[in-house]
Amino acid sequence: MNTRVAANIRRSFEPQSLGAVTIADSPARSFGTPLWQFPNFFKDPDGTLRCPQADHFGFYALARAVHAVLVGTTYLEAGDALRARSFCAARVVCYYTAALNVTQAHLALQGRVFIDNPRGPLKPRGERHPGQPMFAPLEGDQGSILAVLASDGRWVFEGRPRSHASRWKEFERVYPGGQNLPDQFAELFEYMLSYGPDSFSEICDSEDYEQALLREGAQAVVKARHEAMYQGYGYDDFALDLLVNGESGGAGLDRKPEALRAFVIGASDAVVADVFEALDTIGPDDWHRLQPPFSMAVMTPEFEIPSTELLGHERYQRLIVELLHRVFPVGGEGRDRRC
């Protein structure tokens, strides 16, 4: 795991970090700690984005990573439910959604956290009314906010368009030039570029291999989602050409959804291992105090918890069950993997 992010997460759970928070009328007093379930933001007069929870934003980085993995697992289950019927396009949509969520979890644990539908400043007490939002709108058109852990250990906040391309684009900043790209991502990108007019062999004739793989591969993944969602196309291109030319009976048509599925399982495995590593660095007393608001932060915004009995991959199923046990422990004893 990224050591700077792991250290920041650990510090965000420590009492001295929490003591530095200055949030008027903290809504989380019932949880025994001044933490919102979700961060909020405001702008300085010069337009700089600020977050009152910046001093312990590692708390949210870990919560967003767990949230994304669990949401991704739900879509993995949905895709698996379609496997028996060979609905390739629908499976691509489900597995891509799972892949995007796992990608966001990976980015969060690399110190780049996306916050969608960001909340603005807390309204003054006299302006809060039952049934109405407690937060004022955030000034300007902020589709999403990206929280970045800078080299000096501070979190800085930048506006980002809420688009699929912008999520995958962050990989070029985490892995400049495509260097040290995790195997799961490299394998998915290589598959997506393996056949067609823009095949990877042609791209590499004039460009650096790793850089082209990252840039073009990410674009190909987004394109696959678009074709499946809006054109109903989810076949493997090479297998379809063989079928159309009468050279096969249709074997391999589902290689595209299966490549996305394999990516989700492999990338989730790595992300969950990093989450466990981060949890292991948190002191038992700190975790006992902050586990309730942390589990609430994971569940914000609300989503359907995956039904792990439906998972068709035994090892992955065990990982997700363990993750759920540690984040939502019974009696507060779920933090230690040895339990």
How far is it, in rounded angstroms, from Cα 299 to Cα 255?
33
Look at residue 21 in the predicted model and tell me its pLDDT: 44
Residue 28 maps to a domain: no
Residue 183 maps to a domain: yes
The count of structural domains within the chain is 1
Residue 96 maps to a domain: yes
Query: What is the reported pTM?
Result: 0.89
Instruction: Using the structure block, give the residue that is written with the tokens 């989700």.
Output: 264
Q: How many CB atoms lie within 10 A of CB 293?
A: 20
Look at residue 202 in the predicted model and tell me its pLDDT: 67
Look at residue 70 in the predicted model and tell me its pLDDT: 97
Backbone angles phi, psi at 40, to 5 degrees: -130, 165
pLDDT in tens, 196-208: 655 666 666 656 8
Under 8 Å between Cβ of 107 and 67: no
How far is it, in rounded angstroms, from Cα 186 to Cα 213?
7
Look at residue 249 in the predicted model and tell me its pLDDT: 84
Look at residue 192 in the predicted model and tell me its pLDDT: 94
Task: Give the closest residue to 184 by CA, choosing from 123, 251, 253, 274.
Answer: 274
Residue 333 maps to a domain: no
Residue 320 maps to a domain: yes
Residues of the chain with pLDDT under 50: 19-33, 331-339
Residue 80 maps to a domain: yes
The distance of Cα 183 from the centroid of its chain, to the nearest Å, equals 17
Under 8 Å between Cβ of 68 and 16: no
DSSP H helices in the chain = 3-12, 15-19, 58-81, 88-108, 164-169, 171-174, 183-192, 200-203, 209-231, 237-244, 255-281, 284-298, 314-327
Instruction: Using the structure block, give the residue that is written with the tokens 């767990």.
Output: 66
Residue 124 maps to a domain: yes
Look at residue 338 in the predicted model and tell me its pLDDT: 30
Look at residue 131 in the predicted model and tell me its pLDDT: 87
Task: Give the closest residue to 93 by CA, choosing from 109, 81, 108.
Answer: 81
Look at residue 126 in the predicted model and tell me its pLDDT: 86
- Domain that residue 127 falls in: 3-20+33-327
148 has which bridge partners? Answer: 112, 156
Residue 209 maps to a domain: yes
Look at residue 324 in the predicted model and tell me its pLDDT: 94
Instruction: Give, in order, the Cα–Cα distances in Å from 225 to each of 18, 119, 291, 337.
Output: 41, 29, 36, 36
How far is it, in rounded angstroms, from Cα 88 to Cα 224?
11
